[in-house]
A and B are shown apart, each in its own frame.
Chain A
Amino acid sequence: MGICANYVRKLFGSVSGRTVALLGAFLVVIFYVPIAMAETVIKVDAGANAQEELQEALILVESGQTIELGEGIFVLSDGLSLDVDNVTVRGQGMDKTILSFRDQKGGSEGLLVTSDQVILQDFAVEDSKGDAIKSKGVDGIAMINLRVEWTDGPKSTNGAYGLYPVQSKNVFIHGCVAIGASDAGIYVGQSDRIIVANSRGEFNVAGLEIENSYNADVFDNVLTRNTGGLLVFDLPNLPQQGGHNVRFFRNKSFNNDTPNFAPEGNIVGIVPRGTGMIVMANENVEIFENEFYENDTMNIVVASYVDDFDDENYQPTPRKIHIHHNKFGKSGLDPDTGEFGAIVRETLGTPVPDIVWDGVLPLMDYFVFGQDEEHKLAIHDNIHLDGVRPFGNANLIMHVIAPIFHKAHYDMSPYQKSYPPLPPVEVIIRGKNAMELVQ
Chain B
Amino acid sequence: MKRFVLLVVSAVLLVGGGDVSASAVNDQKLMAKKPAKLLSAYGLFKDKSARNPGPALLRYELNNPLFTDYAEKIRYIYIPQSAGPAKLTTHDEPLSFPVGSVLVKTFAYPVSFQQKNSSLRFIETRLLIHKSDGWVAYPYVWNEEQNEAKLKVAGKRLQIPVIWEDRASQIIEYAVPNMNQCKGCHASRDKQITPIGPKIRNLNRLDAAGIENQINILKRKGYLSVQFPEIENLPKVPDPFDERAGSLRERARSYLDGNCAHCHAPGKPADTSGLYLNYEEERDVHWGIDKPPVAAGRGAGGLKVAIKPGQPDQSILYYRMNSVDPGIMMPELGRSLIHQEGLKLIEEFIKSLD
Contacts and interface: CB of A to CB of B under 8 A. Distances in A.
Interface string B273-297: 1100000000011100011111111
Give the interface residue-count category, chain A: 35 or more
A310 B274 CA distance: 12
Given A78-B175, A105-B326, A107-B332, 7 more contacts: A56-B154, A78-B155, A105-B175, A131-B295, A131-B297, A267-B293, A307-B292
Given A59-B178, A161-B295, A310 B157 contact: no
Nearest to B302: A264
11 contacts: A51-B154, A52-B156, A56-B154, A59-B180, A83-B183, A105-B326, A129-B326, A156-B298, A237-B274, A237-B286, A265-B302
Contact of A263 (B173, B183, B294, B297): B297
Contacts of A437: none
Contact of B294 (A58, A156, A182, A238): A238
A108 B327 contact: yes
Given A59-B178, A78-B175, A183-B297, A129 B327 contact: yes
Contact of B316 (A82, A187, A189, A265): A265
Contacts of B71: none
A66 to B, nearest CB: 18
A316 interface: no
Contact of B333 (A59, A107, A187, A189): A107
Interface in B314-345: 316, 325-327, 332-333, 336
A78 B156 CA distance: 10
A373 interface: no
Nearest to A264: B302
A157 B327 contact: yes
Contact of B157 (A59, A105, A265): A105
For A60, A106, A157, which residue has the most chain B Cβ atoms within 10 angstroms?
A: A106
A166 interface: yes
A129 B325 contact: yes
B266 interface: yes
A106 B302 contact: no
B153 A59 contact: yes
B3 interface: no
A322 to B, nearest CB: 27
Nearest to B269: A136
Contacts of A308: 290
Interface in A37-58: 51-53, 55-56, 58
A395 B335 CA distance: 50
Contact of B178 (A81, A156, A161, A310): A81
Query: Lowest 10 A-B CB distances belong to which pairs?
Result: A160-B297, A264-B302, A265-B300, A81-B180, A129-B327, A56-B154, A263-B298, A55-B154, A108-B332, A237-B274
B83 interface: no
A235 interface: yes
A263 B326 CA distance: 16
Contacts of B143: none
Nearest to A9: B1
Contacts of A81: 178, 180-181, 184
A53 B295 CA distance: 30
Contacts of A264: 300, 302-304
Contacts of A237: 274, 285-286, 291
Contacts of B332: 106-108
A429 to B, nearest CB: 19
Chain A CB within 10 Å, residue with most, of B157, B173, B272, B290 = B272
Contacts of B220: none
A78 B295 contact: no
A114 interface: yes
B222 interface: no
A295 interface: no
A167 interface: yes
Contacts of B298: 156-160, 182, 263
A350 to B, nearest CB: 30
Contacts of A164: 295
Contacts of A310: 284-285, 290
A189 B273 CA distance: 11
Contact of A239 (B187, B266, B301): B266
